[in-house]
Amino acid sequence: MQKVNPIFYAGLAYVQISSLPAKQCEFLDEHIPSVRRFRLIINGEKLEDCISYEDYEHWYQLINPQYFEVYFESQI
């Protein structure tokens, strides 16, 4: 599982869940509560499913990459 780089906007480091690799997107979508998500509007485009890069890093460090792979293999 590869860690993604943050996107910066107005001094905020964030990631958009729907733009992550498919497995990360699915896992984060299930495990990040809606209160940790926020919306950005950049040049008129609404980004609905953003989380701070700090939250993403915290999640990434907590998830054992081996568990992550086993979890998704068991879902197939």
Question: Across the 76 residues of the chain, what is the mean pLDDT of every consecutive 10-residue run?
Answer: 90 95 85 90 94 91 65 57
Q: Is residue 33 part of a domain?
A: yes
C-alpha to C-alpha distance for 59 and 25, rounded to whole angstroms: 12
Assess if residue 31 is contained within a domain.
yes
Cβ within 8 Å of residue 75, ≥6 positions away: none
What is the total count of domains within the chain? 1
| pLDDT at residue 64, as a whole number | 58
pTM for the model: 0.77
pLDDT attached to residue 33:
85
pLDDT number for residue 73: 60
- Residue 36 counted as domain residue: yes
Q: What is the pLDDT of residue 35?
A: 87
Q: Is 2 inside a domain boundary? A: no
32 within a domain of the structure (yes/no)? yes
Per-residue confidence (pLDDT) for residue 20, from 0 to 100: 92
64 inside domain: yes
Domain that includes residue 57, residue range: 7-74
| Residue 1 in domain | no
